[in-house]
Amino acid sequence: MKALLVGEYRDGKLLGSTYELLAFAQKIGAQAAMFLVGSEAALPQFDGPLYLADAKAAGEFNPALHKQLLLQVIEQEQPELIVLAHSSYGWDLAPRLALALKCAQISEVLGYAEGAFLAPACNAKLRRTLKPATARAVVTLQAGAFSLPGEPAGTPQVKPLSIQAAVGGLEFVGYEAAQKAAVDLSRAEIIVSAGRGIGKKENVEMIAALAKALGGELGASRPVVDAEWVDHSRQVGTTGQTVAPRLYVACGISGAIQHLAGMKKSDFILAVNTDKEAPIGEVADVLVVADVKQFAPALAEKASTL
């Protein structure tokens, strides 16, 4: 199988997600070619053809123009799979490509086996297996779902792409940095995070009290932040902060891949969940099957007497 990987580049740097695309291609045994709007100064390490459009001429984020360039490469390479990261760049470009190619598009792929893709469903509560109904498919990969077994290696054969004219009425103006997180969780040694399982806003105080008793910081999963129980500056995960504390306590957090991507490198993970089958158990060093409303105050009381 042939796969065309759409690498990502930002502000002069190749993004790490590009290597996740390579890891996926390796995992499924696909022959990989890559498309990148980037620069000669920041090339990915891999052996294979690299179609390179200069970011200064093509704009780092211009899905209309990038789609046109990609269609030229697809015409030449004839890949069965076009693979992008499930990022703001990927989820903008992927449907445009699928529409132009009249082929299937599958988002947030977590795995692959025997021609079928594993992807989340129902707000990541379930996983489904999808087989594209067309011979070709455009897929986006969940952040953190695939990683290379070792260090990347190799030298691509660069094939420069020429940019004729701007298309689609879009012009890349630039990026604007989001407000810096008020709390830098990446430096915290202990983090106690609240998930939807805490039940209601009033219970955040109970989790914050446990964090305080353990000498740590309060963190949160995305639903807790979306419900405005906790500020976004404390969100852990792909759209929050990436943390690696000595101790991470996950309170009422199921363990969706977007949350795990932000905390799975913690030294020791203690999870509290009423569901003994919760996916957080796969990464936790200890899974306490209990109601967090009983466990958190009890642990906080114990910790404050030490």
Q: Edge-to-edge, what's the strand order for the sheet holding 116-121?
A: 111-113, 116-121, 126-130
Residue with tokens 């003994």: 276
The correct pick among 36, 247, 272, 300 for binding ligand FAD (CB under 6 A) is 272
Contact between 140 and ligand FAD (CB under 6 A)?
no
The one among 197, 216, 219, 245 contacting ligand FAD by CB under 6 A:
197
Show contacts with ligand FAD in window 201-230 (CB under 6 A). Answer: 221-223
Q: Are 104 and 138 in contact (CB under 8 A)?
A: yes
From candidates 67, 136, 264, 293, binder to ligand FAD by CB under 6 A: 293
Least distance in angstroms from the C-beta of 141 to ligand FAD: 12
Interaction residues for ligand FAD, span 92-131 (CB under 6 A): 123-124
Query: Residue 294: exposed, middle, or buried by beta-carbon count in 10 A (0-12, 13-18, 19+)?
Result: exposed
Please check whether residue 219 is in contact with residue 249, taking contact to mean a CB–CB distance below 8 angstroms: no
CB 283, CB 255: distance < 8 Å: yes
Rule CB under 6 A: say whether 162 interacts with ligand FAD: no
Task: Give how far Cα 128 sits from Cα of 15, 120, 123, 283, Å.
Answer: 28, 6, 12, 21
* Angle at alpha carbon of residue 227, lines to 238 and 203, rounded to 5°: 105
- Select the residue interacting with ligand FAD from 84, 240, 266, 270 (CB under 6 A): 240
Element holding 59 (H helix, E strand) = none
In whole angstroms, what is the distance from residue 110 CA to residue 129 CA?
10
Q: Which of 291, 298, 301, 302 binds ligand FAD (CB under 6 A)?
A: 291
From the list 111-119, 129-137, 150-158, 273-281, the region that binds ligand FAD by CB under 6 A is 273-281
- Beta carbon nearer to ligand FAD, 54 or 275: 275
Closest CB to ligand FAD among residues 56, 128: 128
Q: How far apart are CA 243 and CA 98, in angstroms?
A: 35
Which CB sits closer to ligand FAD, 105 or 273? 273
234 binds ligand FAD (CB under 6 A): no
Neighbour count for residue 101 (Cβ, 10 Å) = 18
Contacts to ligand FAD by CB under 6 A: 123-124, 195-197, 221-223, 235-240, 252-254, 256, 258-259, 262, 272-275, 278, 291-293
